[in-house]
Structure 1
């Protein structure tokens, strides 16, 4: 069986690993495994997914042919640096992390110095609910070969470029819009709720953009993504800011998105609220819970 390792066993890593466990030997490693409290949660999760828990990062990489890094944006380069010490020729490192092209290039330099192949992967949609069918753009000198390997495993991948960083540039530029829409909705409806005019605002938005779902579940979905993943999204948007600065584009909007994404998460923490306590998520109730806590 193909030996595959996932570094990072959060939402994306766990979904991909569980799906691949039916057709490959999967090992996982996550720095949370070194902390007793989070290890107690992660080990049963790994067992339920049918994957092996490594003793260390070095152990996780030892027999792996394919290595997937699916950590937070803030840790992406650190993981590449740590993994490079144990990687060797014949292994392929797939960097799924949402970071700036310059960060991907720095990671590629580290990985390729070890003799392993580096693949820039841009995850172009939320991994749930599509799982392996989530669209991926990939790039790098050996990306065409890697694309065939991914598709053989059931991934919905597509070769984009032979250059590291180009696939991620697509993702980063897209994130300005996607994460921005989430942040704008959070800010817009938070204010509308305080003035008691949210119904009129939503009706107006629906009239202007009837196909988007403003009269339905779209507001709940957009704000829920901030409440659940705002920390990770803020880290990604800091990489977007870096992406824009590298080509001398104004970062005003992207810096505002960082503030709004991080701000809602910080408010939840300050009030002692978790996302689980707000599910099933309804944006009005969530905002009221913040006021009551």
Structure 2
């Protein structure tokens, strides 16, 4: 599919690069902006952009000024700052799709900035992990401009549907789901690692399989350890936004707050090299969660040494 629409991606991480690849295959013009361009990871971004014909732009406002559709795909805490940084460059009627895992309140603040500058803000809630589905990941849209953007996105290959014309509904759906999904990841890591330390992991898994016979706990364990080790920092930010969503409902986010701490804790271990190099073929892909649990336990034992 060829189109005259120029798309600007803010955030050229895993999600941004996947979207860029799938859009470029269709002949869509894509430019991107990422704060890592000037840092150690900048070389990888430059190489990827060169391979797929993506133009890299140094500033948010400059990218917004040249784009008919801006897609913000950054870490959750940056959703509002990115919207603010784009506003000086937004042209009247420019679409702004907020792809970030942020709370309804954060989406509302970003929308006020974008719409106030003449843009058309649409919240996007990505309902599962992007890599298996790529551009066709299930995507809920929200806000008064969502219905108008939906057909354009689907022509580009997205699997988008409008959740509501009221801003915040799509994000609340995503965030409340994240309390459960990210919480389950954190609980599995905590439970399985503790069980491994006590030598009762086989008995625990056998009991779980008896109680929940439809779930393959060995495979879930391997998958959850892998995802949190690799993306714990980003997941921790998302769950902080989920906790904020719970607060916005008037509840204290006891579970979500604890999940964010555990996800960030695993991310700290990964940054310390406990799980090996991220470029290593074996990084968090052992196929056996026990390998990763043993690395965690060894790291904790090492810290206890005088």
Q: Give the shorter-chain TM-score range.
A: over 0.9
Residue 282 of structure 2 is aligned to residue 280 of structure 1: no
Give the number of aligned pairs.
291
| Distance in 2 separating the partners of 1:238 and 1:174 | 13
The alignment's TM-score, normalised by the length of structure 2, stands at 0.91
2:206 to 203, 213, 224: 203
| Distance in 2 separating the partners of 1:224 and 1:107 | 32
Deviation at 1:275, TM superposition (A): 4.1
1:271·1:290 contact (CA, 8 Å) conserved in 2?
no
Deviation at 1:74, TM superposition (A): 1.3
2:225·2:284 contact (CA, 8 Å) conserved in 1?
no
Offset from partner CA, 1:169-226 (integer Å, 9 cap, x none):
0001000000011001000001000011111111111121122211x41110012111
| Distance in 2 separating the partners of 1:151 and 1:256 | 37
Which one is further off, 49-58 or 127-136?
A: 49-58
| Distance in 2 separating the partners of 1:279 and 1:176 | 23
| Distance in 2 separating the partners of 1:274 and 1:111 | 40
Offset from partner CA, 1:214-242 (integer Å, 9 cap, x none):
1x411100121111111111111111111
| 2:259 corresponding residue in structure 1 | 257
The alignment's TM-score, normalised by the length of structure 1, stands at 0.95
| Distance in 2 separating the partners of 1:210 and 1:274 | 36
1:42 to 24, 41, 45: 45
| Distance in 1 separating the partners of 2:52 and 2:198 | 46
Deviation at 1:146, TM superposition (A): 0.4
Which one is further off, 40-49 or 107-116?
A: 40-49
| 1:175 corresponding residue in structure 2 | 178
After superposition, residues 1-293 of structure 1 pair within 5 angstroms as: 1-23=4-26, 24-35=28-39, 37-214=40-217, 216-271=218-273, 273-277=276-280, 278-281=283-286, 282-292=288-298
2:105·2:168 contact (CA, 8 Å) conserved in 1?
yes
| Distance in 1 separating the partners of 2:22 and 2:261 | 35
| 2:304 corresponding residue in structure 1 | none
Deviation at 1:161, TM superposition (A): 0.8
1:137·1:160 contact (CA, 8 Å) conserved in 2?
yes
| Distance in 2 separating the partners of 1:179 and 1:274 | 24
Query: Which runs of no fewer than 5 residues in structure 2 stay unpaired?
Result: 300-306
Deviation at 1:62, TM superposition (A): 2.4
1:268·1:290 contact (CA, 8 Å) conserved in 2?
no
| Distance in 2 separating the partners of 1:48 and 1:279 | 27
Deviation at 1:271, TM superposition (A): 4.4
| Distance in 2 separating the partners of 1:202 and 1:49 | 44
Offset from partner CA, 1:150-184 (integer Å, 9 cap, x none):
11111000011111111000001000000011001
Note the aligned Cα RMSD (angstroms). Answer: 1.5
Which one is further off, 199-208 or 24-33?
A: 199-208
Query: Which runs of no fewer than 5 residues in structure 1 stay unpaired?
Result: none
| Distance in 2 separating the partners of 1:71 and 1:251 | 24
